[in-house]
Amino acid sequence: MTKKFIIPDQVQVDGVFNLHLKNVPHEDRVYRNLTQPTRNIILNRNKELRKNPGAIRDLSFGRQALSIPLADYEILKRKYPVLVNGSNAEKMKFYHKFIKSTESIPYRVQ
């Protein structure tokens, strides 16, 4: 007979992420939910920047097109493996396509 350990529900905070662990004994699982407290601040700032197109000026080496919260970027890396395993050329091709998609709207700054 194996002994089951009960893990209490908990939240771990490191200043950037909140890690919520939820124990569900009847499913014999622990669910993990990673959140970023500053996510709404970043997304609201993006929305305000889109209202004022001149707020971000183009630089000689490029321009900022997206501002993605770290927690969202982790989700995107799982959804699109090219962000982890792809070459630089593949990543650039992905970003050009991603910027044009409706999925990027909350992250756009222009």
Task: Enter the pTM of the model.
Answer: 0.66
Domain span holding position 14: 7-37
Nearest to residue 91, comparing CAs of 69, 55, 66, 108? 66
Q: Which pLDDT tens digit goes with each residue over 74-84?
A: 889 999 999 99
Q: Which pLDDT tens digit goes with each residue over 32-44?
A: 887 888 888 899 9
Q: What pLDDT does residue 83 have?
A: 94
Give how far Cα 50 sits from Cα of 19, 20, 44, 62, Å: 31, 32, 10, 18
Look up tokens 């000689």; give the residue: 60
Separation between Cα atoms, residue 75 and residue 17, nearest integer Å: 13
Kindly state whether residue 87 falls inside one of the protein's structural domains: yes
Query: Is 60 found in the same domain as 50?
Result: yes
Q: Which amino acid is at 38?
A: T
Q: How many domains does the chain have?
A: 2
Q: What pLDDT does residue 62 have?
A: 65
State both tokens at 17.
């992420």
Region 95-102 average pLDDT: 94
Kindly state whether residue 2 falls inside one of the protein's structural domains: no
pLDDT higher than 80, residue 16 = no
